């Protein structure tokens, strides 16, 4: 495997890891209320 | 707490100009569809199909689509951030520079100056204008977001930022060219690289100009219209990030069966199919947001536009991945199936959401209740019926065309000549003219309704009107 392939693979796994972290952080039970709060606040009277 | 003083004048101005360019786009669309059934309607050299077709697409995407994006983003960002615009002067400059850019585009395209890159036909001086325009817009929105009071950003703001950054990157990379004269340039890329970069731009212009902004509008105007929050903000965040991670890899599905390397085509095909998940994440979130509120489909004309809009988005994001599969693409590519697909996206998804957004804005920017809700409902039905006639007739035409092109005799020769396949298209092309004319009639009613709203004498004290029907 050449360096270019290793780099492609690294970027692919890196991006997947970032996405997985976003999913875990978003669906973390401890921060549920915080992550859902914006949908209520946007309904405030303008 | 004292409410910030929001700039609604600029929103009103952008709504007006987006309507002007929307009318031009659809009218020219009807004219070019007539030119397809009656070539005698080509009046050379300026009013031929070849010159009018890019006017139709560019006025639609950049005049109507981006004009509405400017109006709605400038409205939403102030309210979601509870801040006035960072710079009113910059927004004013953006308004006039926007119109100057669109006019310059239309004039140069009519004169025949073109890069010949679909959806990016304008020559390099106009590219420079587009970049200045977008930078002015992006600075104003991003600076307003930075000044916001709440740390947690609503999903619409995420989509707005993605559109700002995404369009900038796509446009700059695809616009790279070597100018040869004032109105002639040569692409910085050659051969298959040029095609690959161009369709990376082309498909992601759909993502960043015609998907992310309407989603920002949908997530804002649906709950504002129904009065209840979206089903899940967390689902919207996951759908957003998966859309961002996946979309940029899909452009090469426009180049299946071409000299572009096979692995790039396969990558684009795989990511296109995967893209169903984030797209339907938003569709399902929209439908579940209507739990207990489905009666509003009957009572609230805004909800009709919004829910039909997201439904067309759902249909498009199933059809698109299907078309990106090699075997199916081999059958329908280059047929009339493809414009049917894009028009269900533009006339069904993007425009339905844009109509709803502008109807929602009307009482708030004009200070008057909408002139006629029955006319708004009539507009809805004309838009829906016109769009369905347009798309369904060309789906059928596309399958017929593909079938005839692929038909072979026992000795391996083609059963039909190309001209025979063209003659078979006439009834479907007439149906397209009729569908387009119905859709245009709906837009005329839309504009009339807004015009009469502006002319109404009675004003409303506060901008709290909902779209009850």
Do residue A43 and residue B230 have CB atoms under 8 angstroms apart? no
pLDDT surpasses 90 at B468:
no
Q: How many CB pairs under 8 A join A and B?
A: 59
**Cβ of residue A24 closer than 8 Å to a chain B Cβ:** no
pLDDT surpasses 80 at B464:
no
> Taking the model in full, what pTM does it have?
0.95
Residue A45 has which token pair? 């009277």
pLDDT surpasses 60 at B467:
no
pLDDT surpasses 90 at A41:
yes
Choose the closest CB to A35 out of B230, B234, B464. Answer: B234
pLDDT surpasses 50 at A37:
yes
Which residues on A lie below 8 Å from B154 (Cβ)? 38-39, 41-42
| Residues contacting residue B465 through CB under 8 Å, at least 6 positions apart | B363, B364, B369, B370
Banded model confidence at residue B293, pLDDT cuts 50, 70, 90:
very high
Per-residue model confidence as pLDDT tens digits over B326-346: 999 999 999 999 999 999 999
Do residue B223 and residue A23 have CB atoms under 8 angstroms apart? no
Question: Which position has the token pair 């590519």?
Answer: B333
Q: What is the pLDDT of residue B34?
A: 97
Banded model confidence at residue B462, pLDDT cuts 50, 70, 90:
low
Assign A12 to helix, strand or coil.
helix
ipTM comes to 0.91
CB B421 within 8 A of CB B338: no
Which residues on B lie below 8 Å from A27 (Cβ)? 234, 238
Do residue A38 and residue B153 have CB atoms under 8 angstroms apart? yes
| Residues contacting residue B171 through CB under 8 Å, at least 6 positions apart | B120, B127, B130, B131, B134, B201
Per-residue model confidence as pLDDT tens digits over B132-151: 999 999 999 999 999 998 88
Which residues on A lie below 8 Å from B228 (Cβ)? 43
Do residue A26 and residue B234 have CB atoms under 8 angstroms apart? yes
* φ, ψ dihedrals at B309, nearest 5°: -60, -50
Per-residue model confidence as pLDDT tens digits over B83-119: 999 999 999 999 999 999 999 999 999 999 999 999 9
How many domains does chain B fold into? 1
Do residue A46 and residue B463 have CB atoms under 8 angstroms apart? yes
Per-residue model confidence as pLDDT tens digits over B47-95: 999 999 999 999 999 999 999 999 999 999 999 999 999 999 999 999 9
Choose the closest CB to A43 out of B6, B223, B245. Answer: B223
* Range B317-329 average pLDDT: 95
Do residue B220 and residue A19 have CB atoms under 8 angstroms apart? no
Do residue A38 and residue B223 have CB atoms under 8 angstroms apart? no
Do residue A42 and residue B241 have CB atoms under 8 angstroms apart? no
- In terms of CA atoms, which chain B residue is nearest residue A29? B234
Banded model confidence at residue B465, pLDDT cuts 50, 70, 90:
very low
pLDDT surpasses 70 at B171:
yes
Choose the closest CB to B152 out of A19, A27, A37. Answer: A37
B440 lies in a domain? Answer: yes
What SS3 string covers chain B?
CCCCCCCCHHHHHHHHHHHHHHHHHHHHHHHHHHHHHCHHHCECCCECHHHHHHHHHHHHHHHHHHHHHHHHHHHHHHHHHCCCCCCHHHHHHHHHHHHHHHHHHHHHHHCCCCCCCCCCCCCHHHHHHHHHHHHHHHHHHHHHHHCCCCCCCCHHHHHHHHHHHHHHHHHHHHHCEEEEECCEEEECCCHHHHHHHHHHHHHHHHHHHHCHHHHHHHHHHHHHHHCCCCCCHHHHHHHHHHHHHHHCCCHHHHHCCCCCCHHHHHHHHHHHHHCHHHHHHHHHHHHHCCCCCCCHHHHEHHHHHHHHHHHHHHHHHHHHHHHCCHHHHHHHCCCCHHHHHHHHHHHHHHHHHHHHHHHHHHHHHHCCCCCCHHHHHHHHHHHHHHHHHHHHHHHHHHHHHHHHHHCECCCCCECCCHHHHHHCCHHHHHHHHHHHHHHHHHHHHHHHHHHHHHHCCCCCCCCCCCCEC
High-pLDDT (> 90) share of chain A, % = 78
Q: What is the pLDDT of residue A45?
A: 79
- In terms of CA atoms, which chain B residue is nearest residue A46? B79
For residue A32, the distance in angstroms to the closest alpha carbon of chain B comes to 8
**Cβ of residue A1 closer than 8 Å to a chain B Cβ:** no
Do residue A23 and residue B232 have CB atoms under 8 angstroms apart? no
B115-118: long-range pairs with CB below 8 Å, 24+: B115/B177, B115/B185, B115/B187, B117/B174, B117/B187, B117/B198, B118/B57, B118/B198, B118/B202
Choose the closest CB to B154 out of A19, A27, A42. Answer: A42
Which residues on B lie below 8 Å from A43 (Cβ)? 223-224, 227-229
Give me the half-sphere count of Cα atoms (radius 13 Å) on the Cβ side of residue B395: 13
What is the CATH number for B249? 1.20.210.10
Q: d(Cα B201, Cα B248) in Å, to the nearest integer? A: 9
Q: What is the pLDDT of residue B10?
A: 97
Q: d(Cα B362, Cα B87) in Å, to the nearest integer? A: 23
Do residue A38 and residue B152 have CB atoms under 8 angstroms apart? yes
* Range A2-26 average pLDDT: 93
**Which of A32, A39, A41, A43 to probe the B interface (max B CBs under 10 A)?**
A39
Please provide the average confidence, as pLDDT, over all residues in chain B: 95
Q: What is the pLDDT of residue B2?
A: 67
Q: What is the pLDDT of residue A1?
A: 82
B2 lies in a domain? Answer: no
- Choose between B456 and B177: higher pLDDT: B177
pLDDT surpasses 80 at B459:
no
- In terms of CA atoms, which chain B residue is nearest residue A45? B464
B372 lies in a domain? Answer: yes
Q: What is the pLDDT of residue B460?
A: 76
Per-residue model confidence as pLDDT tens digits over B1-38: 567 789 999 999 999 999 999 999 999 999 999 999 99
Range of the domain at B463: 9-467
For residue A45, the distance in angstroms to the closest alpha carbon of chain B comes to 8
**Cβ of residue A23 closer than 8 Å to a chain B Cβ:** yes
Which residues on A lie below 8 Å from B237 (Cβ)? 22, 26, 35
Q: B297 to each of B264, B280, B285, B294, how far by Cα in Å?
A: 43, 20, 16, 6
**Cβ of residue A4 closer than 8 Å to a chain B Cβ:** no
- A25-39, B194-208, B266-280, B451-465: least confident range: B451-465
Per-residue model confidence as pLDDT tens digits over B209-237: 999 999 999 999 999 999 999 999 999 99
């Amino acid at each position: 495997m050449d360096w270019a392939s290793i780099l492609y693979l690294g970027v692919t796994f890196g991006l997947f890891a970032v996405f997985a972290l976003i999913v875990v952080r978003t669906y973390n039970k401890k921060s549920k209320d915080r992550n859902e709060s914006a949908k209520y606040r946007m309904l405030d009277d303008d | 707490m004292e409410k910030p003083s929001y700039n609604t004048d600029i929103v009103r101005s952008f709504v007006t100009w987006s309507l002007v360019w929307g009318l031009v786009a659809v009218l020219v669309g009807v004219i070019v569809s007539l030119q397809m059934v009656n070539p005698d309607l080509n009046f050379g050299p300026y009013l031929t199909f070849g010159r009018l077709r890019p006017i139709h697409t560019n006025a639609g995407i950049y005049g109507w689509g981006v004009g509405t994006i400017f109006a709605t983003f400038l409205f939403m960002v102030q309210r979601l951030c509870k801040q006035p615009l960072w710079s009113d002067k910059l927004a004013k400059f953006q308004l006039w520079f926007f119109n100057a850019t669109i006019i310059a585009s239309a004039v140069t395209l009519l004169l025949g100056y073109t890069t010949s890159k679909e959806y990016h036909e304008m020559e390099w001086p106009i590219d420079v204008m587009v970049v200045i325009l977008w930078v002015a817009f992006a600075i104003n929105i991003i600076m307003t977001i930075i000044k916001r009071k709440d740390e947690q950003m609503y999903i619409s703001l995420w989509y707005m930022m993605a559109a700002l950054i995404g369009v900038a990157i796509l446009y700059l990379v695809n616009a790279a060219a070597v100018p040869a004269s004032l109105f002639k340039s040569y692409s910085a890329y050659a051969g298959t690289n040029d095609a690959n970069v161009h369709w990376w731009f082309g498909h992601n212009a759909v993502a960043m100009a015609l998907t992310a902004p309407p989603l920002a509008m949908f997530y804002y105007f649906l709950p504002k219209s129904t009065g209840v929050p979206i089903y899940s903000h967390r689902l919207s965040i996951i759908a957003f990030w998966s859309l961002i991670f996946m979309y940029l890899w899909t452009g090469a599905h426009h180049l299946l069966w071409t000299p572009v390397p096979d692995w790039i085509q396969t990558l684009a095909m795989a990511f296109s199919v995967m893209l169903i998940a984030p797209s339907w994440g938003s569709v399902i979130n929209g439908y579940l947001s209507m739990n207990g509120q489905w009666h509003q489909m009957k009572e609230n004309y805004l909800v009709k536009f919004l829910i039909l809009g997201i439904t067309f988005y759902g249909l498009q994001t199933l059809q698109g991945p299907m078309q990106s599969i090699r075997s199916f693409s081999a059958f329908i590519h280059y047929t009339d199936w493809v414009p049917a697909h894009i028009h269900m996206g533009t006339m069904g998804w993007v425009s339905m959401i844009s109509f709803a957004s502008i109807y929602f804005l009307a009482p708030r920017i004009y200070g008057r209740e909408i002139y006629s809700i029955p006319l708004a409902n009539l507009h809805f039905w004309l838009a829906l019926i016109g769009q369905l006639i347009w798309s369904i007739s060309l789906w059928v035409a596309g399958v017929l065309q593909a079938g005839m092109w692929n038909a072979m005799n026992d000795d391996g020769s083609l059963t039909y000549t190309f001209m025979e396949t063209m003659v078979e298209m006439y009834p479907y092309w007439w149906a397209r003219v009729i569908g387009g004319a119905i859709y245009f009639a709906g837009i005329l009613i839309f504009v009339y309704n807004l015009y009469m709203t502006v002319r109404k004498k009675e004003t409303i004290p506060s901008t709290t009107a909902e779209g009850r029907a």
